[in-house]
Amino acid sequence: MSDEIVLSATGLGKQVSSPEGTLTILENINLQVSSGEVVALVGPSGAGKTTLLALLAGLDHPTSGSVELCGSRLEELDEDGRAQVRGRDVGFVFQSFHLVPSLTALENVMLPLELAEADNAAQRAREALESVGLGSRTGHYPRQLSGGEKQRVAIARAFVSNPAVLFADEPTGNLDTASGDRVSELLFNLNKQSGTTLILVTHDKELAARCDRVLELEAGRMLNRS
């Protein structure tokens, strides 16, 4: 584990205007994540975890503060610039899988490679599917897969482009315990193999405990600073 900082946030804040006035969702968040680190983001529902994840990944822009991701200051980039950073360095795993329904499992995994015009897309995607134990399901469509299987396809898709940072928002939130366990097991294993930095939002105490570090959010503020 090197000490290079791949992700840092300083004075990060997010406010939205609502009919009842300005609503502060996040306030003065500061954090630094080193390369290869596995960080859990926990907190009660509505604490702002997803919002923070979106800001860190450049999917949304903060009201104040700044984010540096893999050497790029996100607030200095426009939407396309941030997309470029994501395409190069970021992977996602979502609570609701987000597989493209009209694509087979293999094609879903190929998608990031195709976007990056990578060579051997099909071969690499097949290997990725094998590494999540779905080598025999390549031609199946999402609707022919169970929830756990879908999430494993999504994990294969997230790892296939060797991202520097992987963001996961409650990856087991929609799964029963057994398949949830299997998914988190895979996530940790692949992460260990590839040395990816992992930011994991979860409600699961056990899962959080397995991480290198746990950040706790409550009502938009970071509680402990470890």
Partner 1 sequence: MKSLRFAIRSLVRDLRAGELTVLLFAMIIAVTSMTAVGFFTDRVGRAMQAQAAETLAADLLIRSPVEIGDTYLQAGAAAGMRTAATAEFPTVAIAPGGRSLSIVTAATEGYPLRGTVLIADKMFGDSYAADGVPEPGTAWAEAGVMARLDVDLGDTIKLGSAEFRLTKVLEFRPDQGMGFMSLAPAIIVNAADVAAMDVIRPGSRVTHKQLFAGTPEQTAAFRAAWQDRLQPEERISSIEDASEQIASAIERAKRFLTLASLVTVILAAVATAMASRRYALRHLDTVALLKSMGASQAFIQQTMLAQLALIVLSTAAIGTALGFAGQTVLAELSARLTPFTLPEPSMQAALLGLVTAATVAIGFALPQLLQLRTTPPLRVLRHDLAPPQLSTGLLYGVAIAALVTMIWSIVQELKLLLYIVGGMAAMSLVAVGAGWVLVRAFTRFRGAGGVAWRYGLANISRRGRESVVQVVAFGLGIMVLLLLTVVRNDVLRDWERSLPENTPNYFLLNIEPGDWDDIARLFQQELGAVPEFLPLIRGRITAINGTSINDYEFPSQQAENFVRREANLTWTPTLADSNKMVAGEWWPEGYEGALQISIEDQFARNMGVGIGDTLEFSVGGEIVTAPIVSTRRIAWDSLQPNFYIVFSPGDVRQLPQTYLSSLYIADEKSAVLRTLLQRYPGITVFDLQVILTQVRSIIDRASMAVQYVFLFTLLAGVVVLLAAVQVTRDERRFESAILHTLGARRSQILKGIAAEFIALGGLAGFLASLGASAIGYLLARFVFDLAFAIDPLLWITGLLSGALIVGITGTLATRKAVNEPPVRVLRNA
Question: 2 vs 144, which CB is nearer to partner 1?
Answer: 144
Residue 179 neighbours by CB under 8 Å, 6+ apart: 146, 147, 148, 151
Considering the complex, what minimum distance in angstroms separates the CB of residue 105 from ligand ATP? 27
Question: 103 vs 223, which CB is nearer to partner 1?
Answer: 103
Burial status of residue 77 (CB atoms within 10 A of its CB: 0-12, 13-18, 19 or more): middle
- The mark string for 116-155 relative to partner 1 (x by CB under 8 A, - otherwise) is xx-----------------------x-x--xx--------
Taking Cα atoms as reference points, which of 161, 160, 181, 159 lies closest to residue 171? 181
Determine if 195 is a binding residue for ligand ATP (CB under 6 A): no
- The mark string for 99-118 relative to partner 1 (x by CB under 8 A, - otherwise) is -xxxx---x---xx-xxxx-
Determine if 22 is a binding residue for ligand ATP (CB under 6 A): no
Considering the complex, what minimum distance in angstroms separates the CB of residue 49 from Mg ion? 5
Q: Which amino acid is at 83?
A: A
Side-chain half-sphere exposure of 96, counting CA atoms within 13 A: 2
Instruction: List beta partners, residue 10.
Output: 66
Question: 19 vs 224, which CB is nearer to partner 1?
Answer: 19
